[in-house]
Amino acid sequence: MSVEAGAQAPVIEIRGLRKTFRDFWFRPVAEAVNGIDLTVERGDVFGLLGPNGSGKSTTIKMVLGLLAPTAGSVKLFGLSPRARAARARLGYLPELSYLHPFLTARETVMYYAGLSNLDRKTAKARTAELLEQVGLAENANRPVGGFSKGMARRVAFASALVSHPELLILDEPTSGLDPIGTREVKELIGRLAADGLTILVTSHQLFDMQDVCSRVAILSHGKVVGSGRVADIVAAAADKRHALEDYFVARLGAGQEGAK
């Protein structure tokens, strides 16, 4: 499918996705994802929520093309996740920052700009703009090996955004951040969403997700046990402040009953 055709397709389309992990002898050891169907439309801030081991990270890795599905399909902009045209429109922030400690903040962002095929002049301007945006302009020439977790997270955020992605995948973006850092990340997600960026985000922080997500899906044992618009969930809830948390607990309980 061409990129032009992909422009009309959903940003992420997951159909019947399964992933079975096997041991050395190809015997199945875990059914991490068990028949997921999801669609993320343009402009969505989609929260993929679930307890540990529910299959969130495995799903994200398949969306990124880092893992091959056992069955089913994943399409990014109507293309395979391994297609270069799809990868060119993608930004990814992993759960941990995984930065090269010997590079400075500026060099790190420039490196990912280069990998995203930005020309040097554009890359320099974009790097300066992003480092300013994440509040690291003054530390741009310090090696990231000496950065705090929060500063490293901000460098990783800038690296994910450097190529002007249409889809941003955030894996636990507030993991390990202090309350101020968490608020900054939430504000940044809000600004990006307002700019029309599509965001797929996983998190355990349901309270935070309620503030930033437009739609959510709850995963349990590799299956979607609940999904919907956050506005609808909040409208239907008695306790508006903890609406998503209550919905999560309720769907998880229902999912476990179903599994039994």
Q: Which of 7, 16, 28, 100 binds other proteins (CB under 8 A)?
A: 100
The answer to whether 112 contacts other proteins (rule: CB under 8 A) is: yes
Q: Which of 111, 142, 204, 228 binds other proteins (CB under 8 A)?
A: 111
The answer to whether 185 contacts other proteins (rule: CB under 8 A) is: no
Q: How far is the CB of 2 from other proteins (least distance, A)?
A: 16
Cβ burial 145-181 (10 Å sphere, 16+ → b, else e)? eebeebbbbbbbbbbbbbbebbbbbbbbbbbebeeeb
Q: Which of 5, 7, 8, 117 binds other proteins (CB under 8 A)?
A: 117
Q: Closer CB to other proteins, residue 94 or residue 226?
A: 94
| 249 torsion bin: left (phi>0), alpha (psi -120 to 50), beta (else) | alpha
Q: How far is the CB of 180 from other proteins (least distance, A)?
A: 26
Q: Closer CB to other proteins, residue 5 or residue 115?
A: 115
- DSSP per-residue string spanning 137-159: GGGTTSBGGG--HHHHHHHHHHH
Cβ burial 46-73 (10 Å sphere, 16+ → b, else e)? bbbbbeeebbbbbbbbbbbbebebbebe
* Residue 107 in tokens: 């060099």
Q: Are 15 and 72 in contact (CB under 8 A)?
A: yes
**Binding marks (x or -) toward other proteins, 57..96, rule CB under 8 A?**
-x--x--xxxx--------------x-xx-xx-x-x-x-x
Q: Which residues pair with 169 in a beta bridge?
A: 92, 200
The answer to whether 241 contacts other proteins (rule: CB under 8 A) is: no
Q: Are 259 and 243 in contact (CB under 8 A)?
A: no
**Binding marks (x or -) toward other proteins, 20..49, rule CB under 8 A?**
-x--------x-x-----------------
Residues that bind other proteins in the complex, under the rule CB under 8 A: 21, 30, 32, 58, 61, 64-67, 82, 84-85, 87-88, 90, 92, 94, 96, 98-100, 102-103, 107, 111-112, 114-117, 159, 163
